[in-house]
Amino acid sequence: AADIEEGKTVDKWKVYQDACAARSLLGVRDRALAVLSALLSFYPANDLSEASNLIVFPSNAQLTARANGIAGTTLRENLAILVQAGLIHRHDSPNGKRYARKDRDGTIEAAYGFSLAPLLARSEEIALLA
């Protein structure tokens, strides 16, 4: 994800559809894809962009609500599956919480949560697998 070319953008829902089509090749199950959909819903723009902050930081309660009310243990298990499959990356804070720190202008200077950068970096690969 660190090698994303400058200016690269991709429609987040197109990448999601490709990941759904290639789920068996990626080693993810339907519940993990529901969690990925929930994570993508927290990203404000329609396009994942190299120039923007690709970290989303929802609480487990918010993720559970958007992932059709799955249990907390199931949520954590499927987040781990997404990380293992290389579709998201954990960006943990020192205390393990998910949040963003903003400067005086309201610009996010540090965010802790789940990075969607691997989806952007692997978008072409996922499309080929689909």
Q: What is the pLDDT of residue 93?
A: 78
pLDDT tens, per residue, the chain with 130 residues: 567 888 889 999 999 999 999 999 999 999 999 999 999 999 999 999 988 888 898 988 999 998 888 998 999 999 999 999 999 999 887 777 787 777 888 777 777 889 999 999 999 999 999 9
Question: What is the C-alpha separation between 97 and 50, in angstroms, rounded?
Answer: 24
Could you identify the residue written with the tokens 């969690």?
Answer: 35
- Cβ atoms of 50 and 8 within 8 Å: the answer is yes
CA 56 to chain CA mean position, Å: 7
Q: What is the pLDDT of residue 105?
A: 83
Short-list 56, 75, 55, CA closest to 1: 55
40: Cβ–Cβ under 8 A, 6 or more apart, which residues? 12, 13, 16, 116
Question: Which structure tokens are listed for 41?
Answer: 């819903």
Q: What is the pLDDT of residue 2?
A: 64
Q: What is the pLDDT of residue 28?
A: 96
